[in-house]
Amino acid sequence: MEFHISLFMFNFLLQYCAGGVNKSINVAVLLPFDESRLFSVKHIAPAISLAIEKIVENPMYTVNNLSVRYADTKCDIAFGINHAIEFYMYNQVDAFFGPVCDFAVAPVARQVMFWNLPVISGGAMARDFIMYKNTTYGMLTRVGPINFQTLSMLVVNVLTIFKWNRLKLLYDSSGQDYIVTGFCHLLTEALHYDLLSVQPVIEQDYFRVDEGVDIEQLLSREVGLQYSAWRHTESRMRYYLPKWWFCGI
């Protein structure tokens, strides 16, 4: 999958930058070097190398030189924009690949509007990147396999099918941070705001699960019977239907 995303990104870049004429293209890849991340340089760099080979072999593209430079975002809000500014100051970038982590890509995607440079990201899953696509994030193109809006649509469809009109959102603010920093926080935020626009109205509440909390007591107190129900099947067998969502470790 990484190879196909990388190839698409390079095709997009060549159409955007090359314009069918011979020129050199500088790509700045902003990704975490931490190998535990799904979109780390270790995982993505081989796909980028393969994509470059395919581009070079294709006579349709006339590019003198395709240069790729890497910088470590640490999946952090400060490091990504710092490296982006450095690449721009030294005239070493025509387009950015990444960042992927939402908090890292946001300041870069906002700044490039003033530089007129594209940002192509396999992440940027948060709701804001969709809501403000034509304004704040006009130079950002998302090519990732998922985003939180599609997840919201899934939850809405499940609630509609079962005719549920109440939902409890439980989330660990640092849950799934090994994938993307702030994953559960951003996911829950997207669900909360997307559900506000659903008709008929779905009653919802949310609760942040802090470290060390007793999960059994938490579920009894925050979920209880208010956000759960018993249903009868055609064979009169009873089964338990939870009406709460938990995003955590």
Q: Does 7 have pLDDT greater than 70?
A: no
Strands 95-97 and 24-31, bridge-based pairing? parallel
d(CA 222, CA 209): 10
Q: Is the pLDDT of residue 92 over 90?
A: yes
Whether 167 contacts 195, CB under 8 Å: yes
Give residue limits of the domains in the chain.
2-142, 148-247
- Tell me the pLDDT tens digit for each residue of 23-56: 678 999 999 999 888 889 999 999 888 888 877 7
pLDDT for position 247: 59
**The residue count for the chain:** 249
Q: What is the mean pLDDT of the chain?
A: 79
- Token couple for 178: 């090994």
What is the fold of 2-142? Rossmann fold (3.40.50)
Pair 180, 164: CB distance under 8 Å: no
Spatial CA neighbour of 186 closest among 147, 154, 223: 147
How far is Cα 100 from Cα 118, in angstroms, rounded to an integer? 14
pLDDT recorded at residue 221: 74
Least confident segment among 40-44, 115-119, 234-238: 234-238
Residue 66 has a pLDDT of: 82
Which pLDDT belongs to residue 32?
A: 94
Q: Residue 126 burial by CB count (10 A; 0-12/13-18/19+): exposed, middle or buried?
A: buried
Report the distance separating Cα 123 and Cα 105, nearest Å. 8
Locate the DSSP E strands across the chain: 24-31, 65-72, 95-97, 119-121, 140-142, 166-171, 203-208, 228-232, 238-242, 244-247
For residues 118 and 173, which has the higher predicted lDDT (pLDDT)? Answer: 118
Separation between Cα atoms, residue 42 and residue 36, nearest integer Å: 9
